[in-house]
Structure 1
């Protein structure tokens, strides 16, 4: 997989470096497969699908993907479970154009890891990661921690756009406190 530059000015409120991320830093800056790292650090690994629906992407997400804001996309939300505990909340925006051709199977992943598909294809390129510290005021924070019994004061997230041929998908990963115990 190669890294490509894409729209750094459009990443409003997202940082180019995870400044002040402390113990989360090594997880945030990981450029290899997050799925593989989680699998190597846990006894059991699973993907639990929380939602799969057609919806309008947020304006910022549409800009990053280079699609019209009013065009429905497939939205997929999952928890990556390590040893039975949610370690990462992942949210993907898959424009309809990305569900054809080389990526046509992405809409039918079920409880399989999106990352394993992305990192197994050498033709996939990835835009640089961007980072954000999320607190309870942010909608993404609320989505990510909704299933947790004890809500942390904050969590860290990262996002990136993956490209294959003429299509792109946006993947956002929110690191939950249990990832720090791995």
Structure 2
């Protein structure tokens, strides 16, 4: 039933976004609380719903977007992984992760075997995990994720996303997450505008 209600988009899904510091975007207190949360998003989502699941859209080696290459300071093909995070049968978050082929093959990380399991669960179990500063983006209705949101929830409004770089086991992973209107991020939504 879930599959019929929310047909999976064709991988790869995401398009480039303009990422900036959280203080450059007008956020409600609820939005700031979710976007700037430092812990595991997977664990937080699980605590806010009865049933959590991950749906893998795709994971394969390709060239990331130009701005993602600049953020990672590399211009080589990398492994791109895109998933939807579902809570109680509804997609709440679209997530995109980028990491080197060496990270996918790293026996400590076992990223090649994740499938429909959460990357966050895997990362936050590691004692050597560190993360960089959080960046935030406004996702326009015309963006592919905005269009999906409209298709699934009949709501046409800007969405919000966040990303940061994680470092572990000698590897770097760029993880971005876009919150759909079904998520608690928009409980007290106001107009989202860049300053």
Gaps of 5+ in 2: 1-16, 188-195
1:139 Cα deviation after fit? 4.7
Give the distance between the partners of 2:108 and 2:99, measured in 1 at CA.
10
- Give me the CA root mean square deviation: 2.2
Q: 1:177 aligns with which of 151, 175, 181?
A: 181
Gaps of 5+ in 1: 1-11
Residue matched to 1:92: 97
Counting strand residues as a fraction of each chain, which structure ranks higher? Answer: 1
For each residue in 1:51-101, what CA deviation from the matched residue of structure 2 results, as whole angstroms up to 9, or x when unmatched? Answer: 22221111111122222x2x2211111111000000111011121122233
State the number of aligned residues.
168
Question: Does residue 1:155 correspond to 2:159, yes or no?
Answer: yes
Give the distance between the partners of 1:141 and 1:55, measured in 2 at CA.
23
What SS does the corresponding residue of 1:123 show, helix, strand or coil?
coil
What SS does the corresponding residue of 1:62 show, helix, strand or coil?
helix
Give the distance between the partners of 1:171 and 1:119, measured in 2 at CA.
13
Residue matched to 2:71: 64
- Give yes or no for contact 1:17–1:131 (8 Å, CA) kept in 2: yes
Residue matched to 1:20: 26
Q: 1:77 aligns with which of 71, 74, 82?
A: 82
For each residue in 1:100-148, what CA deviation from the matched residue of structure 2 results, as whole angstroms up to 9, or x when unmatched? Answer: 3355511220010000111110101111110011103435545x63862
Alignment TM-score, normalising by the size of structure 1: 0.82
Residue matched to 1:4: none
Q: 1:55 aligns with which of 57, 62, 65?
A: 62
Give the distance between the partners of 1:140 and 1:85, measured in 2 at CA.
15
Alignment TM-score, normalising by the size of structure 2: 0.77
